[in-house]
């Protein structure tokens, strides 16, 4: 990466960090109990100096027990999905790949729906969603290795992902049809459409942060190898890259991030598809800067999506907001980048 490209990536990263900070500050004041930014700064200053009155303590509880954990959750989910999408797009050499290309989202949805259907509780819902997401990709990898050989393995893996995704989607539809319409069906629908309202405890956020670190650190360490893989397996091998090992690491880490994100907030589309594209247009195709910038951009995007969802009189599901925002953005990205990869 030359000096100009490196400088460009740093400028984009600084701009994305500024957008992320501004979005987080704006999100602190948005909700059913609106707080102007001066009041937010007053509460933060009072917390630091210990000079809060009774009203300030109420606002402090709202900020630190509800909104800050929710902002942290939105940042982690956005960064995880964007990192997964960018990684899959690189190793599969396909700009239209999303993080759930191997069926992770539908697998996690099935685990969550099973937990809701049998009334196992919120912790079991997250746990089963996470486990079924990982199980889905494990089954896809095993099936693709049994069926495909050599260069066809990646194509076979994607096809197996489509098959598994369709199969689990059918099971989700079956359980949704059999669910009790008064109690279970609304909860299933609400979960599938995505929301940050269900999970905001500091303990759960800490667990997600740990999973995020485990999944994102190897991706950041091997991001220069994603550059090599994007040229093809033979070129990457000639550069000294162990293609099978690196691809396996990337698939495992991206699956871990996607499965954890879906288990915490439900199915959220478009994030891992459009954010890497937008960042690629801004900072270039080099994964040395693309991957960290995509993570920052995804975090900022999900905070903005959460702001839009909470700004309505009735909180909107995340998948609705991401589709409304993401579809026009993706059309714009397609138009801007058509000369490069269409």
What does each C-alpha distance from 311 to 25, 33, 208 come to in angstroms?
14, 10, 26
Q: What is the pTM of this model?
A: 0.90
Answer for the pair 213, 186: CB distance below 8 angstroms, yes or no.
no
Residue 25 is encoded by which pair of tokens?
């500050």
CATH of 3-341, one of 1.10.3470.10, 3.40.718.10, 1.10.357.10, 1.10.630.10: 1.10.3470.10
At residue 152 the predicted structure's pLDDT band, cuts being 50, 70 and 90, is: low
In a 3-state reduction of DSSP, which class is residue 326? helix
State the pLDDT at residue 226: 87
State the pLDDT at residue 148: 65
Encode 178-217: b = buried (16+ Cβ within 10 Å), e = exposed.
Answer: ebeeeebbebbeebbebbbbbbbeeebbebbeebbeebbe
At residue 144 the predicted structure's pLDDT band, cuts being 50, 70 and 90, is: confident
At residue 14 the predicted structure's pLDDT band, cuts being 50, 70 and 90, is: very high
Residue 204 pLDDT more than 60?
yes
Answer for the pair 143, 159: CB distance below 8 angstroms, yes or no.
no
What's the whole-number mean pLDDT along residues 313-328? 87
Q: How many CB atoms lie within 10 A of CB 33?
A: 11
Lowest average pLDDT, out of 94-103, 249-258, 302-311, goes to 94-103
What's the whole-number mean pLDDT along residues 86-96? 82
In the chain the first and final C-alpha atoms are separated, in Å, by 24
Cβ contacts of 120 within 8 Å, gap of 6 or more: 114, 128
Find the helix packing angle between 122-147 and 153-178, rounded to 10°. Answer: 140
State the pLDDT at residue 342: 46
Q: Pick from 289, 321, 248: which is nearest to 78 by CA?
A: 321
Residue 204 is encoded by which pair of tokens?
């759960």
Q: What are the residue boundaries of the structural domains of the chain, listed by start?
A: 3-341
What's the whole-number mean pLDDT along residues 207-211? 92
Vertex 119, ends 114 and 120: CA angle to 5°? Answer: 80
| Alpha helices, DSSP H, located in 179-232 | 184-193, 202-221, 223-229
Q: Tens of pLDDT along 15-73?
A: 999 999 999 999 988 877 878 888 888 888 888 787 777 777 778 888 888 889 999 99
Residue 304 pLDDT more than 80?
yes
Per the prediction, the chain carries an average pLDDT of 85
Q: Pick from 218, 216, 244: which is nearest to 229 by CA?
A: 244
Residue 194 pLDDT more than 80?
yes
Residue 277 pLDDT more than 50?
yes
Percent of the chain whose pLDDT exceeds 90 = 28
Burial class (CB in 10 A: 0-12, 13-18, 19+), 92: buried
Lowest average pLDDT, out of 182-191, 192-201, 212-221, 281-290, goes to 192-201
State the pLDDT at residue 312: 83
């Amino acid at each position: 990466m030359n000096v100009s490209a490196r400088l460009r990536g740093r400028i984009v990263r600084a701009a994305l960090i500024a957008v992320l900070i501004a979005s987080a500050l704006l999100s602190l004041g948005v909700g059913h109990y609106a707080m102007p930014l001066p009041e937010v700064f007053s509460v933060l200053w009072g917390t630091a100096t210990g000079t809060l009155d009774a009203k300030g303590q109420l606002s402090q509880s709202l900020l630190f027990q509800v909104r800050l954990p929710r902002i942290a959750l939105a940042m982690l989910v956005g960064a995880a999905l964007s990192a997964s999408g960018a990684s899959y797009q690189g190793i599969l050499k396909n700009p239209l790949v999303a993080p759930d290309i191997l069926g992770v989202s539908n697998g996690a949805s099935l685990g969550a729906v099973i937990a809701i259907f049998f009334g196992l509780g919120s912790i079991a819902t997250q746990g089963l969603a996470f486990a079924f997401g990982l199980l889905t990709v494990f089954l896809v990898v095993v099936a693709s290795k049994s069926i495909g050989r050599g260069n066809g393995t990646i194509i076979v893996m994607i096809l197996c992902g489509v098959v598994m995704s369709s199969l689990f989607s059918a099971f989700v539809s079956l359980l949704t049809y059999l669910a009790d319409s008064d109690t279970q069906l609304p909860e299933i629908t609400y979960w599938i459409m995505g929301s940050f309202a269900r999970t905001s405890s500091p303990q759960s956020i800490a667990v997600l942060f740990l999973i995020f670190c485990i999944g994102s650190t190897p991706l950041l360490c091997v991001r220069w190898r994603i550059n090599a893989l994007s040229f093809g397996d033979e070129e990457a091998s000639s550069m000294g890259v162990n293609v099978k090992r690196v691809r396996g690491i990337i698939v495992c880490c991206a699956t871990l991030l996607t499965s954890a994100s879906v288990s915490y907030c439900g199915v959220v589309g478009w994030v891992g598809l459009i954010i890497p594209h937008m960042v690629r247009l801004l900072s270039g195709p080099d994964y040395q800067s693309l991957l960290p910038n995509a993570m920052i951009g995804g975090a900022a995007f999900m905070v903005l999506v959460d702001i839009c969802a909470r700004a309505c009189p009735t909180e909107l599901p995340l998948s609705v907001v991401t589709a409304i925002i993401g579809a026009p953005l993706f059309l714009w990205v397609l138009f801007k980048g058509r000369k490069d990869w269409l």
